[in-house]
Amino acid sequence: MDVAGDGQYDIEYDGDQLLYVDPITYRAVPRLPEFAEQWIPDPGLAKDTYVSLGTCKYNIPRAIKGENSPPEAIVTPTSLIYPKQDTEIGVPNTLICFVNDFHPPVVDITWTRNGQFVDQSEVSQTQYYSNSDFSFRTSSYLNFTPQENDIYSCSVGHISLQAPLTRFWVPPIVRVRQTKPADYGERSMLECSVVGFFPQEVRVSWLRDGVEVTTDVSSTDVLVNGDWSFQLHSYLELMLKRGERVTCRVDHSSLKESLEVDWDTFSLDVKYLKIAVGISMLFIGFAVAAGGTVYYWWKQSGLCEEKTFLQRAGVAFNSRQYRSLLTVGNGERFGNWTWPEMCPDKFFAVGFSVRVESNQYGADDTALNGIRLICAKDGIRSFLYSVESHTGYFGDWSQPQYCPSGVLTSFQIRVEPHQGLFGDDTAVNNIKFRCSSNPMLEAPGMSWGEYGSWSQECRDGGICGIETKMEEYQYGLDDSTLNDVRFHCCNKPLQ
């Protein structure tokens, strides 16, 4: 201790500081404002502080002299960065940088957002807490609002460090989905997509009814995104069982504890739920005057079953470099951008298929649920790959449409605008593509809404990847599923 310094007197509860006493004014300063009005310190606290600090300042120099002035202990700090609450995009929160096990009790803590130092008005720091081993700890608080692709860092400077100790916070986004249609009692595959995290080190595991499993598990390598974040996709093959809880668990340095995401089994039962909702709405709206039945059929089919030469690429080729992104301005607001899927190197999209739900006649409509690109190399269509990013659960896949020659180069989407609080949102209803040989192809989608402007054209190459903006299943509320889409544009390979 610097006996010429001010010293410190604090009171803690459950490991957090309730207040400290200013060593100059001897007034209590609350650290936790939310408890300031609920807990009033003892009126004699100032006198106790004065006596305690005076005793320390009197005894410490004598103890140092009695020990023949031993060298001051230098202990390197550790640090951890985590959010105060579960994070949601656009919802204000607080990041905590917890610095522990250091000595002497002097550290310099700085924050950055996307490589730029943050305004110090957004930052606060506790006093130094003493640990039982005579080391110290402190916490720095940053008020922030999470946004997609933001990267935060906390750097700690200390006399024991040659360079600041820096921790990054870019938490992963985790989604679990079924990769191919199957019902209970059938074998299927689940995919756990962990996207948008930094740094690179991450651990993904699977649990079945709380027990970790290692068999029938596979995974991609950690893949680099274009914004310096990373993604990884893990797969679990299993026999689907009703009532079984299947969980993807993710461990990452940005998380205070493991993040566990359960597979949503409603994807198997949703067709029955939609039938019930549709019948209820018809009963209320028409008082059974129509006397008809709601016909709903969710056909479990895919291109892989119809054409044996078509292979799903998934995220296996996401390291492919692309030149630009093709976007349009009339996409809708709901949901989040999911993961990209890329055609293999030297392959380009020559055709497409869509997943569309037909008119539900009073029940919840979702219109276009997914878009599947079909990729070929050098115009040869004897061996094809498909990519589709994230898709909705409703409707059937259409028969594929192909350019007569050439590749897909631009697109246009038909979008129904937001229908208000009590309306039925469908968002993207249909899509058109233009081929490099000039023909225009239109999907067999729905007709609500209007077409917007065409995207830019992908010249000297073609469309080579897809990324969708999806609203997740709303559990009986209004589903809009596909809200927007963007495509990757790649150059032709050099001859």
> What pLDDT, on the 0 to 100 scale, is given for residue 294?
38
Whose CA is closest to 407, among 346, 351, 455? 351
Contact 240, 185 (CB under 8 A): yes
Which amino acid type is present at position 367?
A: A
CA-to-CA dists, residue 70 to 65, 102, 132, 317, angstroms = 9, 18, 20, 61
> What pLDDT, on the 0 to 100 scale, is given for residue 4?
39
CA gyration radius, the chain: 29
Which amino acid type is present at position 4?
A: A
| Domain 266-491 in the same topology as domain 78-169 | no
CATH fold label, 78-169: Immunoglobulin-like (2.60.40)
Rounded Cα distance between 461 and 252, Å, is 38
Q: What's the length of the chain?
A: 495
> What pLDDT, on the 0 to 100 scale, is given for residue 433?
97
SS3 437: coil
Within 10 angstroms of residue 188's Cβ, the number of other Cβ atoms is 17
Rounded Cα distance between 449 and 430, Å, is 9
Walk along the chain (495 residues) in steps of 10 and give the mean pLDDT of each run.
48 63 72 60 70 77 79 88 80 92 94 89 87 90 85 92 88 84 85 85 93 92 76 91 91 84 74 60 57 40 46 83 94 92 94 94 92 92 89 91 95 95 92 94 96 94 95 84 96 80
> What pLDDT, on the 0 to 100 scale, is given for residue 314?
79
Question: Which tokens go with 201?
Answer: 């080190």
> What pLDDT, on the 0 to 100 scale, is given for residue 296?
39
End-to-end CA distance of the chain: 72
Whose CA is closest to 441, among 325, 348, 353, 366? 353
Rounded Cα distance between 291 and 282, Å, is 9
> What pLDDT, on the 0 to 100 scale, is given for residue 295?
37
Rounded Cα distance between 10 and 130, Å, is 10
Provide CB contacts within 8 A for 299, sequence distance 6+: 396
Q: Where are the domains of the chain?
A: 9-66, 78-169, 173-262, 266-491
CATH fold label, 173-262: Immunoglobulin-like (2.60.40)
CATH fold label, 266-491: Vitelline Membrane Outer Layer Protein I, subunit A (2.100.10)
SS3 421: coil
